[in-house]
Chains A and B, each alone.
Chain A
């Protein structure tokens, strides 16, 4: 490959070669890097052939830039396919990259049209009617995600709540920057920690407003499976309630669009196994703290592997979780 080519040029060249083997006679057009996805690149392009044009997405990670918690893009592709088998709305995976493709690790999937920006989803008049249905639908979808056969994914990290706490506390300590509010939250979480789940399941790990593609017809796709692991189903529910994903609609506990009762009703109706909903506050505090630690660790990434403005900006979002933690600990 020509080393004087631009970064985008090299991606385009790799894709052209790959698409020609997948769809003989097809061309790659309109390659465009999309925003969003702080740890991975997302590219959009058209596959044009005599049969018409299809929009596709390339998810890729230049080697060595994945965050420590990420499952790897090949596992992510398998998770998406397993979720599809369970009737979870996800994009169809078209190809998982191999070393021969020369594009790093990643996969190609269908582009799904719709809105992902949380602020628009919670505020826009366009989604006024669909907002009423989203919480219940999230419950149904989560019940299906949590029914994925864990035996298919032996490489996924499996952790009890106390082990998760220890993991994130170690991450916090690695930042070597004192955060008294985080320390208080870790202490509260240790003192009130729920037991290991009776039935550990596949946890999506980043199921929130912002990772859902929404249309006038509802949830069209669940994205970003990179943080999946085995654990307590309540983790996904608590995470979906974290204030950072309510985009200003604090009164709508679930994603800024709905109520917990609707979510539980959807979960139960879709055949979800019994969940300990009384532990929801613990998981919301845990999720808030987890997001705070994720932000705090971005400083190290900013100073080493990823010195971008976006990294710096996310690192400075740690304090939003401190105010939310204080509010939660007070309540």
Chain B
């Protein structure tokens, strides 16, 4: 068992350091890159916390839709091919719900403050299949 602090805690500390100590006298592009670097560390911390559970759920849903097994990447490749060929359709409630759930989980890691994500969280229930 590895010692503490956890990777997530250390990432948060480094992100906070970059934000606080971000060289204010630096050239604008360096200050900008420093802010971007802090944001990326926050993203990685969210992925470490959220992805294990969400990836398991995503794979379960895909196995149920595709009725086959494989790695998450293999399942997604097969799913994308079926959608492209038209053997699966977003008109199917199972497919549609899966796309929403998967995309919401991705956004909760990549950009939890994004406007389209915030709006989707509030009016998700109001949106039926296309």
Contacts and interface: CB of A to CB of B under 8 A. Distances in A.
A330 B99 contact: no
Given A35-B28, A313-B39, A319-B107, A327 B119 contact: yes
B127 interface: yes
Chain A contact residues: helix, strand, loop or mixed: helix
Given A181-B99, A326-B103, A329-B130, A33 B27 contact: yes
Given A178-B73, A178-B76, A322-B106, A35 B119 contact: no
B112 to A, nearest CB: 11
Given A35-B28, A250-B119, A319 B73 contact: no
A330 B96 CA distance: 10
Contacts of A179: 80
A323 B116 contact: yes
Interface residues of A, number: 37
Interface in B14-38: 27-29, 31-33, 36-37
Interface string A228-264: 0000000000000001001111100000000000000
A187 B84 contact: yes
Nearest to B41: A309
Interface in B83-110: 83-84, 86, 90, 99-100, 102-104, 106-107, 110
Interface of B: 27-29, 31-33, 36-37, 39-40, 43, 73, 76-77, 79-80, 83-84, 86, 90, 99-100, 102-104, 106-107, 110-111, 114-117, 119-120, 127-130
Given A178-B73, A183-B83, A322-B103, 9 more contacts: A178-B76, A180-B80, A187-B83, A310-B33, A310-B36, A316-B40, A319-B107, A323-B104, A329-B130
Interface of A: 32-36, 178-181, 183-184, 186-188, 243, 246-250, 308-310, 312-313, 316-317, 319-320, 322-324, 326-327, 329-331
